[in-house]
Amino acid sequence: MATADSRIDALKVKHQQIDNTLQSEASRPFPDDNAIASLKKEKLRLKDEITRLTRH
């Protein structure tokens, strides 16, 4: 179970890093809409994986 917990923790860290990058990009004078869209998709994918792993 420790392996699953460490995987979940790693995913949560990556999710937070993406959130930080997303906030930085969105606050720029001319944010890159494609980068924002890509970051949001990756953040959602990570959230879905975290949810899936915590249900098992």
Question: How much is the pLDDT for 44?
Answer: 98
Give the model confidence (pLDDT) of 1-56 as tens digits: 568 899 999 999 999 999 999 999 999 999 999 999 999 999 999 999 999 999 87
Question: How much is the pLDDT for 3?
Answer: 86
Q: Which of 14, 9, 12, 4 is nearest to 39 (CA)?
A: 14
Domain boundaries, the chain: 2-55
Separation of alpha carbons 39 and 36, rounded Å: 5
